[in-house]
A and B are shown apart, each in its own frame.
Chain A
Amino acid sequence: MDENLKRSIMIEHYQNPLNKGIIDDEGYKRVNMNSKTCIDNLDFACKIEDGIIKDLKFDGEACAISTSSASIMTELFKGKTISEAKEIIENYENMINEKPYNKDLLEDANCYDEIYKQPNRKKCALLPYEGLKKIIEDS
């Protein structure tokens, strides 16, 4: 992915986020992710049935990296089983932390593959995935 394409994917998801807005519905597990070091503050809601992520939504206020990453994540994980989800999360974290990973699993989320160049922003890109991890671990 060239750099301009990566940025346009992020901008598109930041300005027109998908799955944004949480409805108070039964069957959704919720988690609030409030970054310790910056001002990102996002909520996530996930509906898991029979070990499959049926729906995933987010809401809140955060920077362009966190918000776009949340939007991309919610799309990426819908319909995935818990074990598939765990594998994707692990690969995503490896990408952010400059370890070997399988880019075929990450689709649009590959646009953060150079975020390590801005170490302050790694936590922004990771925040949504930490939220999802919490939900999955509890389920």
Chain B
Amino acid sequence: MDFKKDFPMLGTNTIYLDNCATTLKPLSVIDEVSDYYKKYSANAHRGDYDISRIVDEKLLEVRKKTASFINAESQNEIVFTSGATEGLNMIIKGFFKNYLRSKDEVLTTKAEHASLILPWFDVVRKNGATINYIDLTDDLTVTMENVKKAITKKTKVISLAHITNVIGDVRPIKEICKYAHKLGIIVLVDGAQSVPHEKIDVRDMDIDFLTFSAHKMLGPTGVGVLYGKEKYLKQVKPIIEGGGMNAFFDSLGNVEYKELPEKLEAGTQNIAGILGFGKAIDYINELGIENIHKYEVDLKKYMIDKMSRLKNLTIYNKDIENGIVTFNVEGVFAQDVAAYLNKKGICVRVGNHCAKILSEVLGVKNTCRASLYFYNTKEDVDEFVEALDNDNILYDAL
């Protein structure tokens, strides 16, 4: 495949190394979005005329494609959302808020994204449950041993990212689910950083709930997926109600919802975005998610190897196998490093990466993060490392 031809952004002279934040889009996705507006711009579930039926059929096709991408049992377990954030809020506030009793325990970690942690803060404030944190190891990873140690008789749910967005460590989700399920604990997985980069099989891993975002896997912004096992998804109370999700209501306030997944998709969905997302899945499937993962791991090794030769760098996640490199330049504030790289046309992200409590553990507040995807090349890495091979970064950043 010719990525330069497929991705218009690759022709813009920027070296894009912020793929954790969002990825670039291929033409097939962009065209699918604009085709919706140009060729069959109708609302869904209004099958009274042809173009609306086409929309319904296409949406169903993407739902099926999504289900098979993560190996869900049924397309009815796939709910389209506006993104991982909305999905997490829907599960935590629409399901766990009622499911948890006072003094029940939620297990999570200090490395989680705000989109996972903040809804939990809100829920436990209201229902008297408590949040406990699984200890992270010195290299900030989650081990089965520490998960087991943190579980008590009160633990009802384990809620964590499969891969974190700061250091990119991969959590042993399959083992966690296996162990948790024996104890009747439900597992909610934030897949925002994993689904785009490695094979996720929700049935093999036995995940109860999974959320992710289309825009981090070549798709449009404003689209995400909430997967739930049907038995749990059925119990999720819609936190947003309205058109498209009700089967019946009357003036007395009686309401009957539609079946899954429509029940959880109130209002007109981001139709163009969902259709574009279908093309994103096609693109990834064509490359093969396993190949993508292997390519990223190899490219990161190449990058770490080169970066390790520079004396001025601290790298926080050398050995973690994926495409995320978190680092600092000695004596230079992360923001200045990014400003310097920006002058060279290189995009990296700085900050606490929305995981503000991780700094309590990491010991540094702010880091730079370079994150790769399959369209990044050794040449990108060469330019990046060459730029960092400079004793005057601070001066050149001004």
| A contact residues vs B (CB 8 Å cutoff) | 6-7, 10-11, 14, 38-40, 61-65, 67, 118, 120-121, 124
Contact = CB atoms under 8 A, between A and B. Distances in A.
A61 B350 CA distance: 14
Nearest to B394: A64
Interface string B321-343: 00000000000011110010011
A-B complex: 7 closest residue pairs judged by Cβ atoms: A63-B335, A39-B351, A7-B398, A63-B336, A64-B336, A63-B333, A39-B366
Contacts of B366: 39, 61
B333 A61 contact: yes
B49 interface: no
14 contacts: A10-B398, A38-B335, A39-B350, A39-B351, A39-B365, A61-B333, A61-B365, A61-B366, A63-B339, A64-B336, A64-B394, A64-B398, A118-B342, A120-B339
Contact of B394 (A11, A38, A120): A11
B249 interface: no
B395 interface: yes
B292 to A, nearest CB: 30
Chain B interface size range: 10 to 19
A64 B333 contact: yes
Contacts of B398: 6-7, 10-11, 64-65
A87 to B, nearest CB: 27
What secondary structure prevails in chain B residues at the interface with A?
helix
B341 to A, nearest CB: 11
Given A64-B397, A65-B339, 5 more contacts: A11-B394, A39-B334, A63-B339, A65-B336, A120-B342
Nearest to A35: B335
Given A61-B365, A118-B343, A120-B342, A39 B395 contact: no
A31 to B, nearest CB: 20
What secondary structure prevails in chain A residues at the interface with B?
helix
Nearest to A6: B398
A116 B141 CA distance: 42
Nearest to B396: A7
Contacts, number: 44
Contacts of B333: 61-64, 67
A6 B111 CA distance: 40
A7 B336 CA distance: 13
Interface string B365-398: 1100000000000000000000000000011011
Interface of B: 333-336, 339, 342-343, 350-352, 365-366, 394-395, 397-398
Nearest to B351: A39
A121 B11 CA distance: 25
Nearest to B352: A39
Contacts of A63: 333, 335-336, 339
Contacts of B335: 38-40, 62-63, 124
Contacts of A14: 394
Given A39-B335, A120-B339, A120-B342, A7 B395 contact: yes
A62 B334 CA distance: 9
Given A61-B333, A63-B335, A64-B336, A38 B342 contact: no
Contacts of B395: 7, 11
A71 B328 CA distance: 24
A6 B395 CA distance: 11
A7 B394 CA distance: 10
Nearest to B331: A15
Contacts of A40: 335
Contacts of B350: 38-39
A39 B352 CA distance: 8
A127 to B, nearest CB: 11
A68 to B, nearest CB: 8
A130 B343 CA distance: 26
| Max count, chain A CB within 10 A of own CB: residue among B336, B343, B350, B398 | B398
A125 to B, nearest CB: 11
A11 B335 CA distance: 15
Contacts of A67: 333
Nearest to A9: B398
Nearest to B334: A39
A9 to B, nearest CB: 10
A1 to B, nearest CB: 13
A64 B336 CA distance: 7
Contacts of B343: 118
A118 B334 CA distance: 17
Contact of B351 (A11, A38, A62, A121): A38
